[in-house]
A and B are shown apart, each in its own frame.
Chain A
Amino acid sequence: MSEPTAAAPHHDYEKVLRDSAVEVASFDTGDKSVVQKFRNFLHSSPSAVSLIVLVTSLIIFGILLGGKFFNAFSLTLILQQVAITGIVGAAQTLVIMTAGIDLSVGAIMVLSSVVMGQMVFRYGVPVEIAIPCGFAVGALCGFINGFLIARMKLPPFIVTLGMWQIVLASNFLYSANETIRSQEIGATAPLLQFLGNNFRLGGAVFTYGVVAMVLLVALLWYVLNQTAWGRHLYAVGDDPDAAELSGVNVKRMLVSVYVLAGVICALAGWASIGRNGSVSPTVGQFANIESITAVVIGGISLFGGRGSILGMVFGALIVGVFSFGLRMLGTDVQWTYLLIGVLIILAVAVDQWIRKAAS
């Protein structure tokens, strides 16, 4: 292919081309200040900010509290305390990446766990079948969300706000707000408490619930980055019209995301039976807010299409470290809420600042 300058002009008016720029269009790679380079680094690795905050907060609480905080037992205890938020957060991450939001995650989680318990204790269903029933309920709730959002074109906020109330009310009506006690479950259906079992490595204690969260996040990380489904999810979140034009079935994509989110919430419900021992219809009241907090602090954009699921885990851990550390320091619990509020606003401010690097 010849350069424009090499070609002899056929017409007079083409002569002006002689003096025009000849290099191919390219990105601006010119000199940048350290701040700009840092900003570009953050833009290309969206979970870096939350990782930096997490490490910093670990160091600060480590200095303030010493060995009481900085030991294998305490640190793995924080992992246990955030495992459920982490699992629900994974569901929330998928939804938020499509530029949606799911306010019904906590309610779906509780209803699934109640169904698992009641199947065994009210209907005498074997526990091996009761647990899949709970997962099916989670998937059904997710499907209703997805159907209303993708097919009926209703806004995700409104749909899941409604489903939050509907699912929560169903949960209370169905269970009559009765708790199934830990001792009864332990005697009849210990499999329900499976994710609460633990193993030790030195001083560190890992519950299967923590392992489930880590495996789930690793799996989703792989799926989001290495599979067509994962790349389509990012594409739908970034620009659904462009994704549609590129051949992505946006509606089916959205429905599948909400169904998967429902299934993950059911997993969280199972994990919560393990952690609490009992099946209680009153747990998980703030799981939706906690999961959104983890996602936002984790640097995942609420406008969709950008962020890493690892960031959500770091976000959940930051909240866990702050809550645990501040309680160990003996401060009033309100300070925890106040600081987490500050973190949320900071995280979004940083996200906006990083976005400017793209423009």
Chain B
Amino acid sequence: MTKSILSAAVAALAMGVAFAAPASAADVSACLITKTDTNPFFVKMKEGAAAKAKELGVTLKSYAGKIDGDSESQVAAIETCIADGAKGILITASDTKGIVPNLKKARDAGMLVIALDTPLEPIDAADMTFATDNLLAGKLIGQWAKETLGDKAKDAKVAFLDLTPSQPSVDILRDQGFMMGFGIDTKDANRIGDENDPRIVGHDVTNGNEEGGRTAMENLLQKDPTINVVHTINEPAAAGAYEALKAVGREKDVLVVSVDGGCPGVKNVAEGVIGATSQQYPLQMAALGIEAIKKFADSGEKPKPTAGKDFFDTGVTLVTDKPVSSIKSIATKEALGKCWG
């Protein structure tokens, strides 16, 4: 008697599995692996991916490193995704070179690998990269600063507040892009600091936060107190630079430009702390990534790069309340609706 109950239970279980199996095979599942779970940029990215996944009926699993630079957690996440039989991986890699062999395993297993925001090295280690054109982001603010200054741009004194001493690619692209937009000869466009334009006061590193931005600005102001244009790697660094300028009473006559488009940054543009910023769109990157994985799962088709570029450009827009005629820009009111953080 007990035996027959047991076998009935086993049979029911087996039937349950049999019914369940085809359903999960039809499911497309995708993985999102970000640098951290705490940076608002990645929080927005996760939101974008989750919303799109729900819309398309894709099962999304999200992973993140503990801190920026934590590559081990990302490797573990990739291995989990492969074991899980996901169709594709969206990743913002902490270690753009080191993670390549692990992602190759995923591609060998027939998965679509898409780099979000941060290109891998080499860039073709991913099937496609969905990212901001950081060179264009730099060019936009450089050009805006040039046009805003008008004739005075010829003898401007420019300070560059960069990211870290190791000159990561995003740092180089934004810094050199600004120079191109502003009309400074960049010499080697892959290197910061080889330029000899007398308008450059100097470069200093900020670690992309307020503390570093303030100290770097103080140091460069000591080098040349007549600085009147400041390029900053991101908006927290710009906020720190503004504090240093305020301390010496220069906040009104210095033009500060930045890149990011986070909500505190856009508010700072609205209040005149930052003159203009180039806004990027993490939500868009993730949504497009999920769409690409779904398409790949359905038809095997891989996404194609934007014409003339080796990645898919998710767009960048100049945000300022003092527009110049030659550059398309949006006002802070509109940008606040698209910002993150």
**B271 is contacted by which of A183, A277, A282, A283 (Cβ under 8 Å)?**
A183
B242 contacts A277, CB within 8 Å?
Answer: yes
A60 to B207, CA, bound (A): 29
Residues of A contacting B193 in the complex (Cβ-Cβ under 8 angstroms): 332
Q: Does A328 contact B (CB under 8 A)?
A: yes
Cross-chain contact B267 with A280 (CB below 8 angstroms): no
Choice from A168, A177, A283 contacting B210 with Cβ under 8 Å: A283
The answer to whether B146 has its CB under 8 Å from any CB of chain A is no
Q: Are B38 and A277 in contact (CB under 8 A)?
A: no
Is the Cβ of A183 less than 8 Å from the Cβ of B341? Answer: no
Q: A334's contact among B165, B207, B267, by CB below 8 Å, is which? A: B165
Known: A277-B239, A330-B202. 16 other contacts (CB 8 A): A80-B218, A81-B218, A169-B66, A172-B38, A176-B40, A177-B38, A178-B264, A183-B268, A183-B273, A277-B246, A278-B236, A280-B211, A282-B210, A285-B209, A332-B165, A337-B165
Q: List which A330-349 residues lie within 8 A (CB) of chain B.
A: 330, 332-334, 337
Using a CB–CB distance below 8 Å, which chain B residues touch chain A? Answer: 36-40, 43, 66-67, 165, 193, 202, 204-205, 207-211, 214-215, 218-219, 222-223, 236, 239-240, 242-243, 246-247, 264, 267-268, 271, 273, 341
| B38 close to A280 (CB less than 8 A) | no
Give A327 to B223 CA distance when docked, in angstroms.
9
CB nearest to B41 among chain A residues: A177
Known: A176-B43, A275-B211. A333 touches B243 (CB 8 A): no
Least Cβ–Cβ distance between A136 and chain B, in angstroms: 24
Cβ A333 vs Cβ B207 within 8 A: no
CA–CA, A168 to B247, complex, Å? 30
**Can you identify 10 A-B contacts, CB atoms within 8 angstroms?**
A181-B239, A181-B267, A183-B268, A277-B214, A278-B264, A280-B210, A285-B207, A327-B204, A327-B223, A330-B223
Contacts A177-B40, A178-B40 hold; do A328 and B223 have CB atoms under 8 A apart?
A: yes
Known contacts A182-B239, A198-B247; A280 and B218 CB within 8 A of each other: no
Is A234 part of the contact surface with B, judged by Cβ < 8 Å? Answer: no
B219 touches A276 (CB 8 A): no
Chain A residues, CB < 8 A from B236: 179, 278, 280, 282
Q: A181-B239, A282-B236, A284-B211 are in contact. Are A327 and B219 (CB under 8 A)?
A: yes
Which of A68, A74, A176, A276 touches B240 (beta carbons < 8 Å)? Answer: A276
Cα–Cα, bound, A178→B267 (Å): 13
Q: A172-B38, A176-B43, A181-B268 are in contact. Are A324 and B219 (CB under 8 A)?
A: yes
- A309-339 Cβ-contact flags toward B at 8 Å (1 or 0): 0000000000000001001101011100100
Q: Chain B interface secondary structure, helix, strand, loop or mixed?
A: helix
Q: Which of A81, A168, A172, A285 contacts B215 (CB 8 A)?
A: A81
Residues of B within 8 A of A183 (CB): 267-268, 271, 273
The 3 closest A-B pairs by CB, nearest first: A172-B38, A276-B210, A277-B243
Query: How many Å lie between the Cα of A58 and that of B38 in the bound state?
Result: 42
Chain A residue with the shortest CB-CB distance to B220: A327
Report the nearest B residue to A84, measured CB to CB.
Answer: B211
A77 at the interface (CB under 8 A from B): yes
A253 at the interface (CB under 8 A from B): no
Give the CA-CA distance A330 to B267 in the complex, in Å. Answer: 34
User: Do the beta carbons of A182 and B243 come within 8 Å of each other?
Assistant: yes
Q: Is A308 an interface residue (CB 8 A)?
A: no
A301 within 8 A of B: no
Bound Cα distance A299, B337 (Å): 54
Task: Tell whether, in the assembled complex, residue A74 and residue B222 are in contact, meaning their CB atoms are under 8 Å apart.
Answer: yes
Report chain A residues within 8 Å CB of B242.
Answer: 182, 277
B223 closest partner in A (C-beta):
A328
Does A181 contact B214, Cβ atoms closer than 8 Å?
A: no
Q: Which of chain A's residues have a CB closer than 8 A to the CB of B240?
A: 276-277
Decide if A276 touches B214 in the complex (CB within 8 Å): yes
Cβ-based interface call for A205 (8 A): yes
B-side contacts of A285, CB under 8 Å? 207, 209
Q: Across the interface, which residues of A come within 8 angstroms of B222, CB to CB?
A: 68, 74, 77, 324, 328
Decide if B38 touches A278 in the complex (CB within 8 Å): no
